[in-house]
Structure 1
Amino acid sequence: MTSFPSEAVARIRVLVVGDLMLDRYWFGEVERISPEAPVPVVRVAKREDRLGGAANVARNIVSLGARATLVGVVGDDEAGRRIAALAQQEGIDARLIVDPQLPTTLKMRVMGRQQQLLRVDFEETPDGGCLDTLRGDVEALVAQHDMVVLSDYAKGALARVEGLVQAARTAGVPVLVDPKGHAYRRYVGATIITPNRAEMTDAVGRWNTEAELEERAQRLRGELSLEALLVTRSEQGMTLFTDEGRQHIDAQAHEVFDVSGAGDTVLAALAVTRAAGLPWFEAVKWANRAGGVVVGKLGTSVVTAGELT
């Protein structure tokens, strides 16, 4: 495995587009059960907000030493302003589209003794006007970047993803897509897509053997005109499919504490190392290592270049 290309990564600019969300954590102690219902009572001692979704991808890109521009939709509310403030603190160039009619996607987690007890989600889908603005912003920015990352959490920001992929192709900029759902024709022309095991099953059906997976993956890659397809498989590692065939890497042996946001970290590491000039499989090795580190942390977290080396 080559050394992490820190100097090359420092010159990289990545445009991250997708569903933005605020991850809000309430930490506390559980000392009794509620007399009102058989549920634990959490005495909140600490509150913490973190960037989530596509914003967490951008946060990881900056943490790894590259520069990130972030485009997405937020509401005219406290959570949206919090995302803007956190992005600025993290050194992310955030170009946020504010929709006064839309609540910012917010995931509020209640944690007791370092375990998640409850999650409450607030979310709605942005309207067509916001999506027109988003595409215009992407078209104006894409040529200034070395890589485009489309982070799809099925919250609506990438409802017209075909136009975003086309804008990047027109500018000659590679496109990495973290997909959602099963309608993968939307991603035709991307450079690589990175479905996890469940998402790949949604797209091609269940497979019984590795040979069957390879046949289906390569067929899907051809149908979508992809340069590469990476299936992230949790404890089974990652499998890359390219013109060279199938290449697999086992998962890093780490204690898994929390998988929240691990896919964002993998996507960020893959983007910066590939943009820095590493071959696909070398980039996948670094992404695998980054994912192995971040699952040992609580909540949506980041990995630094120092931790990888």
Structure 2
Amino acid sequence: MNDMIPSRQLSTDSYRQADAPQLDSVRLLVVGDVMLDRYWFGDVSRISPEAPVPVVRIEKREERLGGAANVARNAAALGAHCGLLGVVGNDEAGDSVEQILRESSIHSYLKRDSAISTIIKLRVIGRQQQMVRIDFEDTPTETVLRDKLTQFKALLPDYDVIVLSDYNKGSLVNVAEMIQLARAAGKTVMVDPKGDDFTPYRGATMLTPNKSELKRIVGSWKTEEQLTEKAQRLREDLGLQALLLTRSEEGMSLYTADEIVHVPADAREVFDVSGAGDTVIATMAAMLGAGVPLPEALATANRAGGIVVGKLGTATVTRDELFAQRRRSDGA
């Protein structure tokens, strides 16, 4: 079956092949698990007398959008018209998320759930190294999730591309219905999946699992041929137009009914992989929303992921960063 599907490899600079797209007309709605990423930076100079652990004296604190909110922030940083639908608690952390969304020019459709606390991932950084991560999380209540689904239906006419960012925290229990509604309305639907069962994502336009996420579904593989067979079978079983596999140091592979496209990793120093998948799906969604062909969108998303892993923590890539090298190569 897969022997008849052509396979090709792109170069890492394939994203330069056409003019940088205008992304300010792209209307992109992100739905999923919203988080607040907190970073405490400090100095480590001694070991605690109470236990054999380092003592970190905190000198600086930062707050950034995480989870689905980081996807939205990445899309907005590229210039897309972006909205975010999710659930946060009626608390100080939820207020912080709302404030950062405003500062990032992201339209907030957040639902406040007074029965839960906003999901927080607290990272303590000492000497530019993560010492510990502490997670605070709750599952949204059914009433709020029903309200969110109602608003999702109301928002569909206003957006062209839907990104479902699933971190398996409970905000996307209605994901199957969301996909059905969005596809029936003619929307492009991209999903960053999680968990042991991908069947709720059936009918989406594209799934973007990483290697470990794919292995949980299809099992391990030893050869590229075995991987292709498993990936294509999953794509067909779920009725996807495309399956995008992010492969860390091996780059990315895109599987469609017409071809298989590989792009090698954009070689650079890897500093922090936090949120790299968010950057990839946000870039891919924005490029497709702008009408960029799949292979070029793939190469551009690959470059964006390569840039963001060189930054600390959940970060973004701007349009200027993404296409600066293209402009230099064109003599602009």
Identical pairs, percent: 54
1:208 deviates by: 1.1
SS at match of 2:195: coil
Q: Secondary structure at the match of 2:87?
A: strand
- In the superposition, the TM-score normalised over structure 2's length comes to 0.91
Q: Does 1:47 align with 2:70?
A: no
Alignment of 1:105-144 (within 5 A): 105-144=119-158
Residue 60 of structure 1 contacts residue 302 of structure 1 at CA under 8 Å; is this kept in 2?
yes
Contact between 2:88 and 2:119, CA under 8 Å: does it hold in 1? Answer: yes
Deviations 1:23-44 (A, max 9, x none): 0000000011111111111111
Match of 2:20 in 1: 5
Counterpart for residue 251 of structure 2? 237
2:39 to 19, 25, 32: 25
Q: Which amino acid aligns with 1:297?
A: K
1:63-100, CA deviations, whole angstroms, 9 ceiling, x for partnerless residues?
01111100000001111111001101110001110000
Could you say what secondary structure the match of 1:6 adopts? coil
**Distance in 1 between residues matched to 2:111 and 2:127, nearest whole Å:** 37
Matched, 1:251 2:257: no
The answer to whether the Cα contact below 8 Å between 2:42 and 2:56 also exists between their aligned partners in 1 is yes
What is the 5 A alignment of 1:51-130?
A: 51-130=65-144
Report deviation, 1:251: 0.3
Q: What's the CA shift for 1:4?
A: 5.4
Is the 8 Å Cα contact of residues 115 and 141 (structure 2) preserved in structure 1?
Answer: no
Q: Give me the CA root mean square deviation.
A: 0.9
User: Which residue is equivalent to 2:330?
Assistant: none
CA distance in 1, matches of 2:286, 2:274: 21
Give the Cα separation in 2 of the matches to 1:181 and 1:299.
Answer: 23
With the length of structure 1 as denominator, give the TM-score of the two structures: 0.98
Q: Is the 8 A contact 1:32 1:41 kept in 2?
A: yes
Aligned residues: 308
Residue among 195, 198, 208 paired with 1:181:
195
For 2:225 and 2:142, the matched residues in 1 are separated by 42
Q: Is the 8 A contact 1:187 1:224 kept in 2?
A: yes
SS of the residue aligned with 1:154? coil
- Give the Cα–Cα distance (whole angstroms) in 2 for the partners of residues 71 and 3 of structure 1: 33
Contact 2:208 2:243 (8 Å CA) reproduced: yes
- Matched position secondary structure for 1:14: strand
CA–CA distance in structure 1, aligned partners of residues 250 and 196 of structure 2: 22
What CA distance in whole angstroms lies between the structure 1 residues aligned with 2:173 and 2:99? 26
Instruction: State how far apart, in whole Å, the 1-side matches of 2:19 and 2:133 are.
Output: 36
User: Do the aligned partners of 1:5 and 1:273 also contact (CA within 8 Å) in 2?
Assistant: no
The answer for the alignment partner of 2:169 in structure 1 is 155
Counterpart Cα distance in 2 of 1:178 and 1:231 = 10
* TM superposition shift of 1:182: 2.1
Q: Deviations over 1:198-225 (max 9, x none)?
A: 0010111001111111111111111111
Of the two structures, which has the highest relative contact order with CA contacts closer than 8 Å and spacing of 6 or more?
2
User: Does the CA contact (< 8 Å) of 2:85 and 2:108 recur in 1?
Assistant: yes
- 20-29 vs 130-139, which deviates more? 130-139
Instruction: Name the residue aligned to 2:183.
Output: 169
Deviation (angstroms), 1:171: 1.2
Report whether the alignment pairs 1:209 with 2:235. Answer: no
Cα offsets for 1:126-153 (capped at 9, x unmatched)? 1211111111111100121110000000
After superposing on structure 2, the runs of 4+ consecutive aligned residues of structure 1 that deviate more than 4 Å are none
Which residue identity lines up with residue 128 of structure 1 in the other structure? Answer: E
Q: Does the Cα contact within 8 Å between 1:6 and 1:305 map onto a contact in 2?
A: no
Could you tell me which residue of structure 1 aligns to residue 7 of structure 2? none
Over 3 Å counting, the alpha-carbon distance change for 1:218 and 1:300 in structure 2 is same
In structure 1, what is the Cα distance between the partners aligned to 2:298 and 2:156?
A: 24
- Kept after mapping to 2: 8 A contact 1:14/1:146: yes
**Paired residue type of 2:65:** L
Alignment-mate amino acid for residue 63 of structure 2 = D
For the 8 Å contact 1:4–1:305, the answer to whether it is kept is no
Deviations 1:47-68 (A, max 9, x none): 0000000000000001011111
Instruction: List per-residue Cα deviations over 1:259-299 (Å, max 9, x = no partner).
Output: 00000000110000011111111111000000000000000
Counterpart in the other structure of 1:308: 322
Cα distance change of structure 1 residues 5 and 168 upon mapping to structure 2, 3 Å threshold: farther
Shift of residue 118, structure 1, vs aligned partner:
0.8
5+ residue gaps in structure 2? 1-13, 324-332
